Structure 1
Amino acid sequence: MHCVTAEDSFVLVDRPRPQVAVVTLNRPERMNSMAFDVMVPLRDVLRELTYDNEVRAVVLTGAGRGFSSGADHKSAGSVPHVKGLTRPSFGLRSMEILDDVILALRKMHQPVIAAVNGAAIGGGLCLALAADIRVAASGAYFRAAGINNGLTASELGLSYLLPRAIGSSRAFEIMLTGRDVDADEAQRIGLVSRTVAEDELLEVCCEMAERIAAFSRPGVELTKRTLWSGLDAASLEGHMQAEGLGQLYVRLLTANFEEAVAARAEKRPAVFTDDKP
């Protein structure tokens, strides 16, 4: 992989394949904990990549043996733009930065695949859940750690995202007990879509990203939007209307459907131009 950011950066961006970007949290000595020195550049990288039209899919992972161990209780880093604030306001601004990272992942135009290479604890679990797809290395594990630290386990959207990923009963149990969920269980309960050997993780995720990148850009983007809006929807009827509008948009304004039908008939890969001749 060719790295396009400085080697001493806490967030690295690689372009291993055409139209695929790999974002790596690069603080392995702290298991990629969510210090502000890591989260601020991560937020900025995600905001930049979402408007990079050469990137069609994103893989998020961690360097070393951890995906992200959550809050850094020893070295939280510096929070920007807080000079002169009282402690309560400082806390609000700090949480806002972390919230922005989760929302940036959700709002990316491109699908995001979390390649969970190791521990995903507390906020690290939230980062994984904010991705669209999760793939775990065989040695990865997950923990909603807030309850273990005498706090609430609800943070950074965890109590919203986890029940939608694995169901309410399992989410309640995992969040209230603070226990670890290993990779095998994570796959069984739907927390991740698959588990692979550690040395195959990035290859599998990049292959998946490349497959997604080959499809229609608006088709992929609208599928991501409607999947998330379905999870957020107040009613099935309203969500079905949103789905229908998205389908009509791609069907009427592009020739992608005709190209897919022709490609199948001609036994060749489809080439989507996202345009109407």
Structure 2
Amino acid sequence: MKSLDRTYETLTLEEATPGVVVLTLNRPDRYNAMTNQMFVELERAALDLDQEDDLRAVVLTGAGMAFCGGYDLADADGLADLGAIQMLNQQERAARSLVSVRSIRVPVIAAVNGPAAGGGLALALQADIRLGSPEAKFNAAFVKIGLTAGDLGTSWLLTRLVGPAVTSDICFTGRMVYAEEAARIGLVNSVSEPGKLMEDALELAGQMVANSPGGVQLSKKALQANMEIGSYAAALELENRGQALLTRSTDMPEALAAFKEKRKPVFKGE
């Protein structure tokens, strides 16, 4: 993959298995806290990965002991001095980078290996699936520093994931949600055994890779788009178009032939 040739200061990219790229936030000495440099690089990496024909899944994680500690407060001192338009540009830069991760056409699995605070929580929410280590913990730290939890998609995504009442509790108190509770309320899909987080994430990605690339990608499109649609009829219309499109691909006939011949299908995503 050509996108793996690019070097970054705050990230690393590695193809762990064919079609599966691990994107690692790489500022372990700062708990992988976000900077403007990271926002720019994260957007660039996501856009590049999205252009890779052979990409099938992305695993997003953090180096060291943390997933992401949120915005680096060492860079926050000057925010209050920015003009209104400058601050809007700053906010849009950050939001654009996270949206680019959510918009990658293949599944994104967040392997949350430690604290995910503030913007780190928001980043984890961009993933389609979240797996946690026993050390994973989450908080909407915004109110702790005089900001709103309506930041970087958190108010929209978290509410749809765990419900409005639980979201209100988490966001108004700024309290920590530890791994066991995160699994119970659906913030993470599961908590891995100690030391097995990446193994579990790559195993899950492998299960996705085994399926039709087009089927998985259009499933993601339908799931995301229908979160924004308030009509059952509109959702059905979107689903109908996706199914009609996929019956024109080579993967569906291959799947049927493989079933009849009692063999594994060989999908091409064409």
TM-score, normalisation: structure 1: 0.90
Q: Within 5 A, what are the aligned runs for 1:68-83? A: 68-75=68-75
**Letter of the structure 2 residue corresponding to residue 18 of structure 1:** P
Q: Name 2:241's counterpart in structure 1.
A: 245
Q: Give the unaligned 5+ runs of structure 2.
A: none
**Which 10-residue stretch deviates more, 59-68 or 193-202?**
193-202
Q: Name 1:176's counterpart in structure 2.
A: 172
Q: Is the counterpart of residue 132 in structure 1 residue 128 in structure 2?
A: yes
Q: Within 5 A, what are the aligned runs for 1:67-216? A: 67-75=67-75, 87-216=83-212
Cα displacement (A) at 1:214: 2.4
Q: Name 1:236's counterpart in structure 2.
A: 232
**Letter of the structure 2 residue corresponding to residue 269 of structure 1:** K
Question: Is contact 1:62-1:117 (8 Å) kept?
Answer: yes
Quick one: structure 1 residues 93 and 137, their matched pair in 2 at CA, closer, same or farther if it must change by over 3 Å? same
Where 1:169 maps in the other structure, the secondary structure is helix
Q: Is the counterpart of residue 220 in structure 1 residue 216 in structure 2?
A: yes
Q: Distance in 2 between matches of 1:97 and 1:64?
A: 26
Q: Name 2:265's counterpart in structure 1.
A: 270
Question: Is contact 1:36-1:76 (8 Å) kept?
Answer: no
Q: Distance in 1 between matches of 2:112 and 2:175?
A: 18
Quick one: structure 1 residues 110 and 76, their matched pair in 2 at CA, closer, same or farther if it must change by over 3 Å? farther
Quick one: structure 1 residues 217 and 195, their matched pair in 2 at CA, closer, same or farther if it must change by over 3 Å? same
Q: Share of identical aligned residues, percent?
A: 38
Q: Name 2:11's counterpart in structure 1.
A: 11
Specify which of 256, 272, 277 is matched with residue 251 of structure 2.
256
Quick one: structure 1 residues 77 and 62, their matched pair in 2 at CA, closer, same or farther if it must change by over 3 Å? farther
Cα displacement (A) at 1:78: 11
TM-score, normalisation: structure 2: 0.92
Q: Name 2:28's counterpart in structure 1.
A: 28
| RMSD of aligned alpha carbons | 2.1
Q: Number of matched residues? A: 266
Cα displacement (A) at 1:188: 1.1
Cα displacement (A) at 1:77: 11
- 1:50-104 per-residue CA deviation (whole Å, 9 max, x = no partner) reads 001121111111001111111111135999xxxxx96222211111111111210
Structure 1 runs of 4+ with >6 Å offset: none
Where 1:98 maps in the other structure, the secondary structure is helix
